[in-house]
Chains A and B, each alone.
Chain A
Amino acid sequence: MTEPLLEVTDLQVSFGDVPAVRGAGLRLMPGERVAVVGASGSGKSTTAHAVMGLLPGAGRVTGGRISFRGEDITHAGEKRLCALRGRQIGLVPQDPMSNLNPVARIGRQVAETLVAHGLASRREAKDRAVEILAEAGLPDPGRRARQYPHEFSGGMRQRVLIAIGLACRPDLLIADEPTSALDVTVQRQILDHLEKLTQDLGTALLLVTHDLGLAADRADHVVVMSEGKVVEAGPARQILTAPDHDYTKRLVAAAPSLTTTPPRDRRTAEPVLEVVGVSKEYRIRGGGGALRAADDVSFTVQRGQTTAIVGESGSGKTTTAHMVLGLVTPTAGTIRLNGTDGTRRGRRRAMQAVFQDPYGSLDPMFTVERLITEPLRIFGIGDRASRRARVSQLLDQVGLSPAMAQRYPNELSGGQRQRVAIARALAPEPRLVVCDEAVSALDVLVQDQILRLLENLQRELGLSYLFISHDLAVVRSIAHDVVVMRGGRVVEQGPVGQVLDSPADPYTRQLLDAIPGATVFS
């Protein structure tokens, strides 16, 4: 029997006195692909970083054993780790935007690792870097190697990071959420390429991800982590189709990409929002010309229903949402919100928004009560006592305890914050709620809870949603109608079942195919 490449047994990691990993174990054979799956805070990334000796700040391994090719590296010295890092164990980090040194040329950042491990002289490394970048699928690598990170798109940066990770031909590549920040179609290209490269080079892959579907698509073995512990491990297909542990079951059930569309009843046909031929042009600074962020966009939102706008970055979906909200003035076209007096103030009141980042969209200096009553105070609704009663009612509606009213946002979890954001949106009794990527920053289980909450609120209060998302799977689980956008234009629209089950446009097809895990059940 061959020796395992990496073996982690009963690993314990603490940050100060706070345990982050409490008994993680996994084993990776040479050339094998293993995925570690879990929600944020499950300890999956911490485990991966512990393997490389890259725990941040006060992080310490307090127990267990990490062995690489039979060598115990649990408490290896910095010198030994430096020799291992990059050379034997490569890393592809999570966020392509923040993981490249902004002041160094791309080529140099690749060459650096070759020189550090004595694989090439400075001069040789320069040419070698261009070859490696070409291998990672970077077009025009000779010219690109002389550029800086800010001249690269997210997908291209991620290719550079893959090039760096594989530059020294390591035996093990740790990929920590390598594509979470990218659009689905780009994600697919990158993962395909990564898969091909690791296969050609015989590199073992430790894939850290929150996405069960992605894990199932890309790994032989899946390790599920929750609250610092491994709760289940086994062959990928088995974990997804026949999960054993309760947590895994919940995870599989909540993953939007792995479920099928529940039928949605469509009774009313009374439009709340009518957008007709709306365009937005931005003049390009310096160079002249104009950028059409949105081009002749038309759609409607029916009362008590959800219309989703789906598209990748740059598709114009957010610009469209901002025009609906009146935050951006359209260059052409009309936006009608029925049942309001037509004044800007009236429109604002009838239309509320929930944004993506629950950490950024709530003022950290306000209590929950003040956050929720703010729109009431602005629109002069009720008096102090009635507002207070309304806060309790709203908190109850979004599934939070009224006792939370006196808390500050930093005392709440991400899901709780998003519930507060929803409560605030509901406060002035709007007709339309615009959800701009409202569940994109949340973990699968929390995301599912928030989606169900939105659904229930819609049923109870007859709310209409304009739901902006990049995630077709999420859209499938919440929307009645869907508008697919690309490059500022609507490429396709119609009822969810029709568009997603038998797409007419090839781009929609492409988006659907790119959803990870879609093939597991088919």
Chain B
Amino acid sequence: MARYLFHRLWQSALTLVLASIIVFIGVRALPGDPALAMAGEEADPATVAAVRAELGLDESIVVQYLKFMGNAVVGDFGKSIRTGTPVSEMLGATLPVTIQLAIYAMLIALLLGLATGVVAAVFRGRWPEWTANGFSLFALSVPTFWLGILAVLYLSVQLGWFPASGYVSPFEHPLRGVYYLTLPALILGLTHAAVVQRQTRSSMVETLTADFVRTARAKGLGRAAVIFRIGLRNSLIVVTTIVGLQLGGLIAGAVVTERIFSLPGIGKLTLDSVFTRDYPVIQAVVLVITAAYIVINLLVDFLYTVIDPRMRVSGRTS
């Protein structure tokens, strides 16, 4: 097990290094000169050269990369071209918002998706399944931005149930914080709930017809025990894969949701810095998102070993 763990960690580190190279080169391949952008279109060549030297852009790309990575390892991503604030500070302010939103949205997606998925599988061919399938079809086909705008219009502006925008840190005001995040998380989680629902349904339908489920019933186990302890438990193996893949997508989805609800998260930061060509920020944000993907994947892989004993790699075999 320890060997496997070490192997996976090593692999992840390697992936992260490769990703950072791609990001670094990718950002530099963008058209336009950051030094020129920073110094202004009207600046004379000497000023531009000075700015370039200050940004370290006059050195070879290899040296630039090594410097960037050397600093990044200790959490220094340079300074924003736009505001002059250290990028790490900007990330520190926005990242927690996005993480909260993503986790909250995922919880909603899991709750909604698993519940409707189980209902659809258990009541196959009857109205609860049609309702659950109708829900997932709706949630999958309606674009998030449109649903978000509608939700703000009706649920916030007209009915006043939820705040239309804004963010309160749940660490300072737990209840208010959660309340402010609820509508964005719901909107963001809905599509993912639909995917979880479909996956849970098909996986449950398959599991419930498995031989070991019949054996469990033959033991005299009640309906609930068969559905949840045996059926759902086995279906989770497939659902976990999907949830892992989706968590990555959730961060991308957060960009749109944060925009609609004016949340000061990493999505908003990305948009703002892309519009202003704030290269150090874009670079850092992409790198952080990549790292998040890798960490989530790693977590999912370890989660497998918890959920499915067959995945436990060990020397102990019969």
Instruction: Tell me if A16 counts as interface (CB < 8 A to partner B).
Output: no
1/0 contact trace for A80-122 toward B, CB 8 Å? 0011111100110111001111111000000011001100000
1/0 contact trace for B197-211 toward A, CB 8 Å? 000000000000111
Cα A164 to Cα B220 in complex, Å, equals 11
B residues less than 8 Å from A152 (CB atoms): 318
Instruction: Tell me if B308 counts as interface (CB < 8 A to partner A).
Output: yes
Instruction: Tell me if B230 counts as interface (CB < 8 A to partner A).
Output: yes
Pair count A-B, CB < 8 A: 91
B residues less than 8 Å from A165 (CB atoms): 218
Q: How far is the CB of B228 from chain A (nearest CB, A)?
A: 13
Task: Assess the A116–B234 pair: CB atoms within 8 A.
Answer: no
1/0 contact trace for A107-147 toward B, CB 8 Å? 00000110011000000000000000000000000000001
Instruction: Tell me if B309 counts as interface (CB < 8 A to partner A).
Output: yes
Task: Assess the B219–A113 pair: CB atoms within 8 A.
Answer: yes
Q: Which of A82, A93, A103 is B211 in contact with, Cβ under 8 Å?
A: A93
Closest to A168 in B: B220
Task: Assess the A151–B220 pair: CB atoms within 8 A.
Answer: no
Instruction: Tell me if A56 counts as interface (CB < 8 A to partner B).
Output: yes
Cα A94 to Cα B209 in complex, Å, equals 15
Instruction: Tell me if B126 counts as interface (CB < 8 A to partner A).
Output: no
Task: Assess the B211–A99 pair: CB atoms within 8 A.
Answer: yes
Closest to B308 in A: A103
- The number of chain B residues with a CB under 8 A from chain A is 27
Instruction: Tell me if A57 counts as interface (CB < 8 A to partner B).
Output: yes
1/0 contact trace for A60-98 toward B, CB 8 Å? 000000000000000000100011111100110111001
A150 touching B309 in the complex, CB below 8 Å, given contacts A101-B230, A103-B233, A287-B315: yes
Please tell me the size bucket of the interface on A: 35 or more
Instruction: Tell me if A286 counts as interface (CB < 8 A to partner B).
Output: yes
Q: How far is the CB of A66 from chain B (nearest CB, A)?
A: 16
B residues less than 8 Å from A86 (CB atoms): 218-221
A residues less than 8 Å from B215 (CB atoms): 91, 93, 99-101, 161, 164
Q: How far is the CB of A102 from chain B (nearest CB, A)?
A: 6
Q: How far is the CB of A201 from chain B (nearest CB, A)?
A: 17
Closest to A57 in B: B209
Task: Assess the A82–B309 pair: CB atoms within 8 A.
Answer: no
Task: Assess the A101–B225 pair: CB atoms within 8 A.
Answer: no
B residues less than 8 Å from A102 (CB atoms): 212, 234, 308-310
Cα A85 to Cα B213 in complex, Å, equals 13
Q: Classify the secondary structure of A's interface with B.
A: loop
B residues less than 8 Å from A84 (CB atoms): 220
B residues less than 8 Å from A287 (CB atoms): 315
Cα A46 to Cα B225 in complex, Å, equals 24
Closest to A287 in B: B315
**Contacts of B214-242 to chain A: CB distance below 8 A:** 214-223, 225, 230, 233-234, 237
A residues less than 8 Å from B158 (CB atoms): none
Instruction: Tell me if B60 counts as interface (CB < 8 A to partner A).
Output: no
Cα A54 to Cα B209 in complex, Å, equals 11
Cα A52 to Cα B220 in complex, Å, equals 10
Task: Assess the B218–A54 pair: CB atoms within 8 A.
Answer: yes
Task: Assess the B318–A91 pair: CB atoms within 8 A.
Answer: no
A residues less than 8 Å from B308 (CB atoms): 102-103
Instruction: Tell me if A247 counts as interface (CB < 8 A to partner B).
Output: no
Instruction: Tell me if A148 counts as interface (CB < 8 A to partner B).
Output: yes
Closest to B307 in A: A103
Q: Which of A54, A56, A99, A113 is B212 in contact with, Cβ under 8 Å?
A: A99
Q: How far is the CB of A152 from chain B (nearest CB, A)?
A: 6
Q: How far is the CB of A466 from chain B (nearest CB, A)?
A: 33
Q: How far is the CB of B83 from chain A (nearest CB, A)?
A: 52
Q: How far is the CB of A365 from chain B (nearest CB, A)?
A: 23
Task: Assess the B220–A116 pair: CB atoms within 8 A.
Answer: yes
Determine which residue in B209, B216, B308 has the highest number of CB atoms from chain A within 10 A of its CB, and name it: B216
Q: How far is the CB of B245 from chain A (nearest CB, A)?
A: 21
A residues less than 8 Å from B141 (CB atoms): none
Task: Assess the A150–B217 pair: CB atoms within 8 A.
Answer: no
Q: How far is the CB of B313 from chain A (nearest CB, A)?
A: 9
Q: How far is the CB of A40 from chain B (nearest CB, A)?
A: 16
Task: Assess the B214–A93 pair: CB atoms within 8 A.
Answer: yes
Told that A57-B209, A161-B215 touch, could you supply 6 new A-B pairs with CB distance under 8 A?
A: A85-B220, A101-B216, A104-B230, A147-B318, A151-B317, A164-B219
Interface residues of A (CB under 8 A from B): 52, 54, 56-57, 78, 82-87, 90-91, 93-95, 98-104, 112-113, 116-117, 147-148, 150-153, 156, 161, 164-165, 167-168, 286-287
In the assembled complex, 21 residue pairs joining A and B whose CB atoms fall closer than 8 Å, in A order, are: A82-B221, A83-B220, A85-B220, A86-B221, A93-B214, A93-B218, A98-B210, A99-B211, A102-B234, A102-B308, A102-B310, A103-B233, A103-B308, A112-B221, A113-B221, A116-B222, A116-B225, A151-B317, A161-B215, A164-B219, A168-B220
- 3 residue pairs, one from A and one from B, having the closest CB atoms: A86-B220, A91-B218, A113-B219
Interface residues of B (CB under 8 A from A): 209-212, 214-223, 225, 230, 233-234, 237, 307-310, 315-318
